[in-house]
Structure 1
Amino acid sequence: MGFLDDAVDKAKDLIDDNDEKVDDAIEKGGDLLDDKTGDKYAGQVDKAQDFLQDKTGSGDTH
């Protein structure tokens, strides 16, 4: 296992250990984007939020 593999594994563990915080950050980021664009891309932002939350853990905050 190389240096980058170790770093990726540590990052995955950190995300798994802090799933709720990561999901909250994804949610807040999407909400900020919606505010800045006047909800013009709300559908796409919601899909991206759901996708990211599913990839990082439970995805149950949306």
Structure 2
Amino acid sequence: MGLDDIVNKGKELFEQNKEKVNDALNSERAEDISDKVLDGVSGFAKNVLPDSADAKIDEVRDNIDKNIGNE
């Protein structure tokens, strides 16, 4: 099985389970997990990058958070 076969099988499985995937991404559990991950990543980025990037990091974090979970 080649890489193209694996990608096509993944697409097929996603299409067959699209509603379940969307429900999972919009769940309370996804919200909790995504908040923890996003807080960790944004905190790391703020420690590594200059303070002048903090506002942009927060903006990116918030935009991602709007699309995952139920809040």
Q: Deviations over 1:12-46 (max 9, x none)?
A: 61563331121111011011001001323111110
Mark the structure with the bigger radius of gyration. 2
**Contact 1:30–1:46 (CA under 8 A) maintained in structure 2:** yes
Distance 1:52 1:14 in 2: 12
Matched, 1:39 2:54: no
- What TM-score comes out, normalization by structure 1 length? 0.66
Question: Gapped runs of 5+ residues in structure 1?
Answer: none
Distance 2:23 2:50 in 1: 33
Bigger RCO (CA 8 Å, 6+ sep): 2
Query: Which protein is richer in helix relative to its size?
Result: 2
Q: Which runs of 4+ in 1 moved over 4 A?
A: none
- What TM-score comes out, normalization by structure 2 length? 0.60
Root-mean-square deviation (Å): 2.5
Count of residue pairs brought into register by the alignment: 57
Question: Gapped runs of 5+ residues in structure 2?
Answer: 1-10
Percent identity among equivalent residues? 11
